[in-house]
Amino acid sequence: MITAITLIPLIAALGAFLQPGRDGRLARAWALGGSLASLALTLKLAWSFITVGGGVQFVERHEWIPSLGIQYFVGVDGLNFLLLLLAAIIAPVSVLASWDVQDKKSIYFPLLSLEFTGLFGAFTALNFYHWFLYFELSLVPVFFLIKFFGGERRDEAAMKFFLFTVLGSVAMLLGFQLLYLKTGTFDFLALAGLASTGNLPAMVGPLYGWIFLAVLLGLWVKTPLVPFHIWQPEAYTQAPTAVSILLSALLSKLGVYGFLRLILPIFPEAFKAHSVFLLTITAATILLGAFAAMRQNDLKKLLTYSSLNHVGYCLLGICAVGATRTGLNVDAQTPALQGAILQMFSHGLTVAGLFYLVGRLEARTGSRYLTDFGGLRAVTPRFATLFTILTFSSIGLPFLAGFASEFPIFYGSYGLAPVFTLAAIPALLTTAIFLLTMLQRVFTGPLVEKWKSIPDLSLVEWITAGPLIVLIVWVGVTPGYWLRASSEVVDYILKNYR
């Protein structure tokens, strides 16, 4: 089933690109059909997923290059279940967000579908070589989508995105090549097993720390964390709306997922040794994202820095686990890590909805600057309602997804790393300030005369954004249901940190 989920968008991309006459409308239909088919299969998988006692499920394993230890090995467990579901939900949203694209549709929609294949593959692969191919595949369509369809500074944004991410990828590839030479396997689960018994550092020897740093660098850039975040603002703001959605909701989560799949289970000793350094970088990322967002007039750039801030929350929960010391509340490890996993899902839903609505606002008005708006609630009440719910989720209002994931992160991280958690607290207040200011400037006050006739949300826009709102409320009201998905795998990982 996982293979079908992954390859259906690839088939859709080929169908859209190779169709006779290169009809743009058919290309769009191929992309939407492929994304919906993958979503349907993912929902079927989710219905059958066993949250407790299931282990790694829906496994497909085939020898690929046996002499090099390379297998086609995919599966779903508590680490990637919510991310696979998130990717499947966001895929049709990004296609619908591109419905108005007119230029080169026979190129745009195949690239978009190819991106879905890269993301599905990267979130489900359990062999490094196989995972790395999908990891890199997810970068290529984004580069071309920004370069061909982005804003005025698209060339600079695409090149910066490419150079930074390739630098990180090369470091990570070299690190895992050395790890394979010492262990004879690319299998994530086998490597985690060696680490859990304490054999991995002895097998690798003096290269253990260097391999850890090489893998860390690749994920550091991808997530991104300061100071390697500098590619992010240009890429997010210059990209088309659908690509901004994919970058913020999924590609940044791919970097965080790497910490969960690669760093915590495979390098527990090195992670503990560098936890204070990583917590320092994480706190800096959280604070920089929040305070930089306060200074923005461009709505997309404001959401970009807000995304940086919220991804930092994920890393706060993860890195706090490595900081466990005698005398601290080690029981806080479980909520910190489970909250980080749920935060990836919650933030992905929220930021996808916000970028989508900002894109629709720009399509209506030709602007996305705060100072150009005011009083839009009077003419677009449905638009204002959805935007407000998404914003409140991002702020962390109770009974919405943001609160359901951020509360366990801060509860757990305070028990494990109180100094760094307290250092990050001002970002929560700052986030509330700049997001509420955004709502105030766009939707309240006197209506700007030139916007008095802009239309409210259409039926298609309701269909696109509505499911995100439903899920955000669902997660917020019943967080325990969603946290259970990761309970078993979190317990397994934490054996190395207790």
Predicted confidence at residue 214, as pLDDT, reads 93
pLDDT above 50 for 377: yes
In this prediction, residues 418-447 reach a mean pLDDT of 93
pLDDT above 70 for 21: no
Tell me how far apart the alpha carbons of residues 258 and 52 are, in angstroms, rounded to a whole number.
Answer: 23
Tell me how far apart the alpha carbons of residues 134 and 87 are, in angstroms, rounded to a whole number.
Answer: 14
Tell me how far apart the alpha carbons of residues 420 and 403 are, in angstroms, rounded to a whole number.
Answer: 20
Contact 117, 6 (CB under 8 A): yes
Least confident of 80-84, 100-104, 206-210, 338-342: 100-104
Predicted confidence at residue 174, as pLDDT, reads 93
Predicted confidence at residue 467, as pLDDT, reads 94
Determine what percent of the chain is predicted with pLDDT higher than 90: 72
114-151 pLDDT, tens per residue? 999 999 999 999 999 889 999 989 999 999 999 999 88
pLDDT above 50 for 392: yes
Predicted confidence at residue 346, as pLDDT, reads 96
Helix (H) or strand (E) holding 64: strand 57-65
308-335 pLDDT, tens per residue? 999 999 999 999 998 875 455 557 899 9
116-126 pLDDT, tens per residue? 999 999 999 99
68-112 pLDDT, tens per residue? 778 899 999 999 999 999 999 999 999 999 988 888 888 999 999
pLDDT above 80 for 24: no
Least confident of 300-309, 352-361, 441-450: 441-450
In this prediction, residues 16-21 reach a mean pLDDT of 73
471-497 pLDDT, tens per residue? 999 999 999 989 999 988 998 888 877
Contact 282, 316 (CB under 8 A): yes
**Average pLDDT, whole number, for the chain?**
91
Closest by CA to 289, choosing from 239, 357, 362, 351, is 351
* Burial state string for 42-71 with b = 16 or more CB within 10 A and e = fewer than 16: beebeeebeeeebebebeeeeeeeeeebbb
Predicted confidence at residue 102, as pLDDT, reads 81
Contact 333, 494 (CB under 8 A): yes
Tell me how far apart the alpha carbons of residues 139 and 158 are, in angstroms, rounded to a whole number.
Answer: 10
pLDDT band at 461 (very low <50, low <70, confident <90, very high): very high
Least confident of 11-25, 176-190, 448-462: 11-25
Tell me how far apart the alpha carbons of residues 278 and 300 are, in angstroms, rounded to a whole number.
Answer: 28
Structure token pair of residue 109: 């929609």
Tell me how far apart the alpha carbons of residues 61 and 63 are, in angstroms, rounded to a whole number.
Answer: 7
29-57 pLDDT, tens per residue? 999 999 999 999 999 999 998 877 768 89
Tell me how far apart the alpha carbons of residues 41 and 39 are, in angstroms, rounded to a whole number.
Answer: 5
Please count the other Cβ atoms lying within 10 Å of the Cβ belonging to residue 230: 11
pLDDT above 90 for 22: no
What single-letter DSSP state applies at residue 262? I
